Chain A
Amino acid sequence: NAGVTQTPKFRILKIGQSMTLQCTQDMNHNYMYWYRQDPGMGLKLIYYSVGAGITDKGEVPNGYNVSRSTTEDFPLRLELAAPSQTSVYFCASSPLGEPLASYEQYFGPGTRLTVT
């Protein structure tokens, strides 16, 4: 299993540009998540999904959009990039189980995004 993969690894955007960060998992996990991590800080949840066709906002969703058309893929879309979105973005997944809190999350290697 490759686990959780993310592309690209690095990207530089100009202010106002848009892009999609890709995330794929091959573990057949129902739950998928997008986090951002600013320098020296912990991770903050942007969006999450409990399965194909179902998404919900996390702690910091403004400026981002997501979709979940398949179990495997959970892309994150940035529209009108701003310098405040400069960060490292991590995708994660976890299996469906009860209670959810008893299951661990598996993280991808991250995408380092700079907006100038």
Chain B
Amino acid sequence: DAKTTQPNSMESNEEEPVHLPCNHSTISGTDYIHWYRQLPSQGPEYVIHGLTSNVNNRMASLAIAEDRKSSTLILHRATLRDAAVYYCILNDNDMRFGAGTRLTVKP
């Protein structure tokens, strides 16, 4: 199974950008890169996904390395409501969640 590596935790200041890294050196050509987040005591929430090109949506941006072996989720202005566990997942019709990165946002 293709796996991802993320830092256990990161901190950010409110209203500053946050870059959450993810390494996936064994990614295959058909794996989509998905990001989900899980707020405390809630179910996971879809954030963004991509295959090869960078992607933007109302929540975040996804920057994918040219060799696809790493990606970065970018929150342009962190708010206190963005404090959550962020999961980077390789999806080839089978999503495997790791432990994710716990993001703390300081006021």
- In the complex, whether B17 has a CB less than 8 A from a CB of chain A is no
Residues of B within 8 A of A59 (CB): 96
- In the complex, whether A107 has a CB less than 8 A from a CB of chain B is yes
Complex contact A41–B93 (CB within 8 A) = no
The distance from the CB of B82 to the nearest CB of chain A, in whole angstroms, is: 18
Q: A42-B100, A102-B32 are in contact. Are A110 and B42 (CB under 8 A)?
A: yes
CA distance A42 to B3 in the complex (A): 13
Complex contact A109–B42 (CB within 8 A) = yes
Residues of A within 8 A of B43 (CB): 4, 90, 92, 107-110
CA distance A107 to B45 in the complex (A): 7
Output the residue of B31, B43, B51, B87 with the most chain A CB within 10 A: B43
- In the complex, whether A29 has a CB less than 8 A from a CB of chain B is no
- In the complex, whether A105 has a CB less than 8 A from a CB of chain B is yes
- In the complex, whether A64 has a CB less than 8 A from a CB of chain B is no
Output the residue of A35, A45, A102 with the most chain B CB within 10 A: A102
CA distance A102 to B93 in the complex (A): 8
Consensus secondary structure, chain B interface: loop
Complex interface bits, A76-116 against B, C-beta within 8 A gives 1, otherwise 0: 00000000000000101000000111101111111000000
CA distance A42 to B87 in the complex (A): 8
Residues of A within 8 A of B97 (CB): 35, 42-44
Complex contact B32–A90 (CB within 8 A) = no
7 more A-B residue pairs beyond the given contacts A99-B30, A99-B32, with a C-beta to C-beta distance below 8 A: A41-B99, A42-B98, A42-B100, A105-B36, A105-B46, A105-B95, A107-B45
A residues near B (Cβ < 8 Å) are 4, 35, 40-45, 59, 90, 92, 99-102, 104-110
B residues near A (Cβ < 8 Å) are 30-32, 34, 36, 41-46, 49, 51, 87, 91-100
What are 7 A-B residue pairs whose CB atoms fall within 8 Å in the complex?
A4-B43, A42-B100, A45-B95, A101-B31, A102-B49, A104-B49, A109-B43
| A-B interface, 7 closest residue pairs, ranked by CB to CB distance from nearest | A42-B97, A107-B43, A104-B46, A43-B97, A101-B91, A101-B32, A100-B93
